[in-house]
Amino acid sequence: MPNFTQRHPTDDWDYTNCERKGGRWRTRRSLLPLYTATSGSEIVFAQSYVPSFVDSLQTIILERSFTSGEVDLVCLDENYGEMWRRDSLCAVRPRSVRFIELGARIILASPDFATLIGYSGGELWEATKGATYDPRAVALEIPRGIAVASFGRLAIADDDIIHWADPLRPTAFTTNNELNPPGGSIRGMEIDGAGNLVIITTDGSWSVPRSAGFKLDVRGILTRLDEHGVHGWDQTTSWGGGVFALDPGEGLRQVGVGTKLKIGHFQGASGTLSSNHFRAPDSGESSRVSSSPGFGMMVRGGGGTWFSLGGGKGSWWTHTAVIEGVIGGVNGAPVVWARDGLHALGGRHGVTGGYSGRVNKPIDTSPKARSVHVGAAAGGVSCTVRTDVKGPATKTLSSRRTIPLLWGTGYIPSGSSGSQQFNLNERGDEVLLEVAFASGDVELADQVAIEWVPIGDDRDGP
């Protein structure tokens, strides 16, 4: 019986340092430094905005000293030069930080430092209690906590209670505008596509309708959405009209809907790609969820940062420092925020990306996996393939080849100048495959082809 070849789609495999372009997988662009964290410090928060009446980007960052733990606020101009600085906001890594634009005001809020307020384009200062519309109401000091613009008003949640400011008065808080969700501590507040406030606690999720803020005193029905909560900070985000929360060990879950976006945690063949160590993050404090227009949702944790790239697909990204997310740059260009600084997306040189996945034997017996063919739409690219053939015998082997010329057909035809054969010659029940492409502008093949030798045929030759 002759050898036979099976083609296996790789589109749904686990990807590392890749992005989507035109519906195809490519190695991601390299990171070019725009701003480097002050020596001895790391960036623990970053957010950009275009101030009202000023057509010039500004970026707010928080830098934390490795030695003292002090956190400083720095405002950068569109060329990423320092405009102004405010020292010593706190002496701990902030558990959560929210930047809010509300009309001509900007607010920076956290459970770990005093709420800051300022005018768009200007400096921030510590907010102080302001006058309320209702002189009979009990005025409150400015709360600390998670903040969001809710019903056109500033809302800040401390551990258990949500406080709304008066309309157009973001420093006027009263006891008339408080809400205590019945269960758990508040860990997230997001706005859904209908303008409703979604509250995520450690015990579940709740919703307050947009109509609740139409009057001076916030009134409305608190509706239970589901019983799935989060225990860490910054583990929720809004995206595409929905609100998503970390689903520990699995990926992301759409609040109130239940739809899940799984994050690959396949443990592939060892040694070639760092994806061996990636897994869907757990509920620990080190996991973080965010989103960015044009880039989708991002999850930091589990060994790297996972980028949702549309269509239920995603890729892990790695860097010399932890990648936290993506913010807007000049003219809307994406800027990657990592703990070592801010980075533009440049060329693809110096980036190693690839995929890993599992191929099961094609029949109930144990044929020999003789060879694997991989391909890419690029020339002169270094390609590393590592396989673990699992079954009666186990063998790990690694090969390095240079892929010649161009591959661009969308599959791997026999004899293609853009594919490369790697000989295995091992019998087993499954093949764990990792493929890494180093440097260059690499468009990855959407299939691999494995040649099998039928049972009983031990030929090692053609």
Residues 6+ apart with CB under 8 A from 331: none
**Domain endpoint, select from 323, 345, 367:** 345
Residue 233 lies in a domain: yes
pLDDT of residue 435: 78
Q: What pLDDT does residue 340 have?
A: 97
**From the centroid of its chain, how far is CA 259?**
18
156 and 207 share one domain: yes
Between 326 and 294, name the one with better pLDDT. Answer: 326
- Is 459 inside any structural domain? no
CATH number of the domain within which 433 lies: 2.60.120.260
Shared domain for 45 and 168, answered yes or no, is: yes
Q: Give me 142's structure tokens.
A: 């400015």
Give the pLDDT mean for 402-419: 34
What span, in angstroms and rounded, lies between the C-alpha atoms of 101 and 51?
9
Higher pLDDT, 430 or 136: 136
Residues 139 and 35 in one domain: yes
Q: Mean pLDDT across the stretch 162-182? A: 91
pLDDT tens by residue, 184-230 = 899 999 999 999 999 999 999 999 998 888 788 887 788 999 999 99
Residues 126 and 91 placed together within one structural domain of the fold = yes
User: Are the beta carbons of 202 and 227 closer than 8 angstroms?
Assistant: no
pLDDT above 90 as % of the chain: 45
Establish if 23 belongs to a structural domain.
Answer: no
Residue range(s) defining the domain that contains residue 356: 4-13+352-453
Same domain assignment for residues 215 and 301: yes
Residue 190, domain member (yes or no): yes
Using the predicted structure, report yes or no on whether residue 242 has a pLDDT greater than 50: yes
CA–CA dist 124, 116 (Å, integer): 6
HEC sequence for the chain: CCCEEEEEECCCCEEECEEEECCEEEECCCEEEEEECCCCEEEEEEEEECCCCCCCCEEEEEEEECCCCCEEEEEECCCCCEEEEEEEEECCCCCCCEEEEECCEEEEEECCEEEEEEECCCCEEECCCCCCCCCCCCEECCCCCEEEEECCEEEEECCCCEEEEECCEEEEEEEEEEECCCCCCEEEEEECCCCCEEEEECCCEEEECHHHHCCCCCCCCCEEEECCCCCCCCCEEEECCEEEEEECCCEEEECCCCCEEECCCCCCCCCCCHHHHCCCCCCCCCCEEEEECCCEEEEEECCEEEEECCCCCEEEECCCCCEEEEEECHHHCEEEEECCEEEEECCCCCCEEEEEEEEECCCCCCCEEEEEEEEECCCCEEEEEEEEEECCCCEEEEEEEEECCCCCCCCCCCCCCCEEEEEEEEECCEEEEEEEEECCCCEECCEEEEEEECCCCCCCCC
Residue 82 lies in a domain: yes
Asked whether residue 98 carries a pLDDT value surpassing 90, the answer given is yes
Q: Residue range 394-400: average pLDDT?
A: 41
| pLDDT band at residue 265 under the 50/70/90 scheme | low
CA distances (Å), 351 to each of 29, 150, 267, 395, 446, in order? 7, 41, 21, 29, 19
Q: pLDDT class for 392, splitting at 50, 70, 90?
A: very low
Model pLDDT, residue 61: 98
Q: How confident is the model at residue 426 (pLDDT cuts 50, 70, 90)?
A: low
Domain boundary among 327, 345, 363: 345
Asked if 365 and 266 sit in the same domain, the reply is: no
What's the average model confidence in pLDDT over 270-280? Answer: 54
Q: Hey, which of 285-289, 363-367, 395-399, 455-459 has the most confident mean pLDDT?
A: 285-289
Within a domain: residue 21? no
Number of structural domains (the chain) is 2
Last residue of a domain, one of 295, 329, 345: 345
Evaluate if residue 461 carries a pLDDT over 60: no
Question: 39 with 114, same domain?
Answer: yes
Structure tokens at 311: 């269509």
Q: Which residue has the higher pLDDT, 364 or 26?
A: 26
The whole-number pLDDT of residue 275 equals 44
User: Which range is least confidently modeled, 43-47, 149-153, 361-365, 450-454?
Assistant: 361-365
Q: Within this chain, do residues 336 and 368 fall inside the same structural domain, yes or no?
A: no
| 363 and 224 share one domain | no
Select from 109, 59, 119, 118 the least CA-distant residue to 89: 109
- Assign 383 a pLDDT band (cuts: 50, 70, 90): low
| Alpha carbons 187 and 146: distance in angstroms, whole number | 8
Greater model confidence, 187 or 414: 187
Contact 291, 239 (CB under 8 A): yes
Are residue 339 and residue 357 in the same domain, yes or no?
A: no
Average pLDDT over residues 281-302: 83
Asked if residue 461 belongs to a domain, the reply is no
Q: Average pLDDT in the 33-60 region?
A: 94
Burial of 54 (0-12, 13-18, 19+ CB in 10 A): exposed
Same domain, 377 and 300: no
Establish if 401 belongs to a structural domain. Answer: yes
Mean pLDDT of 98-108: 96
Residue 96 belongs to a domain with what CATH number? 2.130.10.10
- Looking at the fold, whether 396 and 336 belong to one and the same domain comes out as no
Please tell me the predicted confidence (pLDDT) of residue 33: 95
Q: Is the pLDDT of residue 336 over 90?
A: yes
